[in-house]
Structure 1
Amino acid sequence: MPIGITVNALSVLLGGIFGALGGKKMSKGFKESLNMAFGVCSMAMGIFAIAPMKNMAAVIFSIIIGTAIGLIFHLGEWINRGASNMQKFISKFIHAPAALDQKTFDATLVTVIVLFCASGTGIYGALTEGMNGDATILISKSILDFFTAAIFAANLGYVVSLIAVPQFVIFIILFFAAHLIYPLTNPAMILDFKAAGGVLMLASGFRMVQIVMFPTADMIPAMIVAMPISWFWMAIILPIL
């Protein structure tokens, strides 16, 4: 039972409704300050995930190689393009609120779709829950997503709630894919995978507080290569050393 994924999707759904209903009462300063707190929380979650790693060199190689793959294949651009297509479909049924022009509404909606459907933290959390049933990452993320959805919905309206549907579908696919991967792993590989995901969570935190705009979408392949590289390091490299 994908509890974490369900809770995360509900947090976006309910947060969007809450923001659309009461968003006008949120000041700009309140929204910005709350976003800073979200960034710090994401960093803390990332550090917690990184700490138990078994093979630092393998994790570092994973981040470098995975990011290089993402940049070579322009993964971030593909994700933005997919989000843009999703936005065009949604905009056929829901138009920009009176306070926003359609161009601003469309651009912001693409950003929100990427944030909720293709974040490193969400993908990492869905894979982790699928592997070992640990829903704590997604449940912790749900707290942040509820308020993030509320803040965006204050400007965009109820359309933010609809993003919970594609988010749930994407995370469920990752959840069941992880079931096939887990039997091929060992505890050290899992910890190194979590550490790679933690690095992405840390990078996401820096983006939230706008200190450094890491290419987090392009860094997503790091989680795909983390376990093979961890296995290669332990089976091939360490015996030589």
Structure 2
Amino acid sequence: MTGTILNVVAILLGSALGTFLGGRIPDKLKQTVVSGMGLFTFALGIQMFLKTGNALIVLGSLVIGALLGEWWKIEDLLSQLGSWLEKRFNHANDEGEHSNYQRERFIRGFLTASLVFVVGPVAILGAIQDGISGDYRLLAVKSVLDGFASLAFSSSLGIGVAFSAFPILVYQGAISLLAAQVQAITTPEMMNEMTATGGILLMGIAVSGLLEIKKIRTGNFLPALILAPLIVALLSALGVQVSLP
């Protein structure tokens, strides 16, 4: 789990520096930086989506995943977690009361950063590589990128970004610990469809959380990341071949 620990430390350091510098950075500059991160995230999402060998698998994963996500109220649960963390750790104004703006800003920072850092093939592949062979180079690269991203996010969205380190620790850590089992059951086709589905989620994060074009309950699509490889496995069991791009 060395790579995951590095990733967590990078996010915490980047968030601390971004929060410290936030008051010294002009609002227009912060907005521009976050918009730049949004454009980059959207472009990265497109690149990831193009790895699909069958777009219908991605579509099916998203539709079923959205139904499950809405049923389980994943976005609401994440928001409640962010709200609890904000009340527990984030100090309010001098009167000891939390303004709606502070709470919404904290939750937005937590949700946006958590989804951006969790979604993507590097988190999965890097965690598997780290767990199997102890080679954490891929996660080290991700740590550098996440560190700069958390600096940019926290300068505009505040300390909530730092708490995205906890989902990273649980998610990547669990994959590393189960790496041998994960490697044994996954195929390149399964990973490609998971990557492509993650790309759609990244585009949703960019449109909703970063560019603020349209509100999308992106968290409710998270089950799609698990469904995509499961659909590939089901099709393979039925004798339907899923091609590589």
Structures share a fold, TM > 0.5? yes
Query: Could you say which residue in structure 1 is the equivalent of 2:152?
Result: 147
The alpha carbon displacement at 1:100 in A equals 10
Matches within 5 A, 1:166-205: 166-176=166-176, 179=179, 180-205=181-206
CA distance in 2, matches of 1:6, 1:192: 27
Structure-1-length-normalised TM-score? 0.81
Structure 1 residue runs of 5 or longer lacking an equivalent are 154-158
The CA deviation string for residues 169-222 of structure 1, in whole angstroms up to 9 with x for no partner, is 323444336523231111111111111111111111112111222221001110
8 Å Cα contact 2:86/2:160 also seen in 1: no
The alpha carbon displacement at 1:227 in A equals 0.5
The alpha carbon displacement at 1:168 in A equals 4.3
The CA deviation string for residues 134-168 of structure 1, in whole angstroms up to 9 with x for no partner, is 43556534432221123334xxxxx5575265244
CA distance in 2, matches of 1:161, 1:121: 10
Matches within 5 A, 1:94-105: 95-97=91-93, 102-103=98-99, 104-105=101-102
Cα 1:112–1:99 shift into 2, 3 Å: farther
CA distance in 1, matches of 2:33, 2:95: 22
* 1:231 counterpart SS class: helix
Query: Could you say which residue in structure 2 is the equivalent of 1:156?
Result: none
Cα 1:150–1:114 shift into 2, 3 Å: same
Provide the alpha-carbon RMSD of the alignment: 2.8
Matches within 5 A, 1:1-241: 1-3=1-3, 5-91=4-90, 95-97=91-93, 102-103=98-99, 104-117=101-114, 119=115, 121-124=117-120, 125-132=122-129, 134-135=138-139, 139-153=144-158, 159-160=159-160, 163=163, 165-176=165-176, 179=179, 180-207=181-208, 208-236=210-238, 238=240
Identity %: 17
Which deviates more from structure 2 when the two are superposed, residues 15-24 or residues 186-195?
A: 15-24
CA distance in 2, matches of 1:38, 1:178: 32
Which letter maps to 1:150? S
Which letter maps to 1:176? S
Which letter maps to 1:78? L
The alpha carbon displacement at 1:78 in A equals 1.3
Which letter maps to 1:235? A
Cα 1:28–1:44 shift into 2, 3 Å: same
The CA deviation string for residues 35-80 of structure 1, in whole angstroms up to 9 with x for no partner, is 1101111012112212222222212211111111101221111111
Query: Could you say which residue in structure 1 is the equivalent of 2:133?
Result: none
Cα 1:115–1:190 shift into 2, 3 Å: same
Structure 2 residue runs of 5 or longer lacking an equivalent are 131-137
CA distance in 1, matches of 2:109, 2:13: 15
8 Å Cα contact 2:62/2:221 also seen in 1: yes
Structure-2-length-normalised TM-score? 0.80
CA distance in 2, matches of 1:49, 1:141: 17
The alpha carbon displacement at 1:237 in A equals 6.1
Cα 1:57–1:20 shift into 2, 3 Å: closer
Cα 1:143–1:202 shift into 2, 3 Å: same
CA distance in 1, matches of 2:92, 2:28: 23
The CA deviation string for residues 74-117 of structure 1, in whole angstroms up to 9 with x for no partner, is 111111112222223214xxx22559962232332222222333
Cα 1:176–1:8 shift into 2, 3 Å: closer
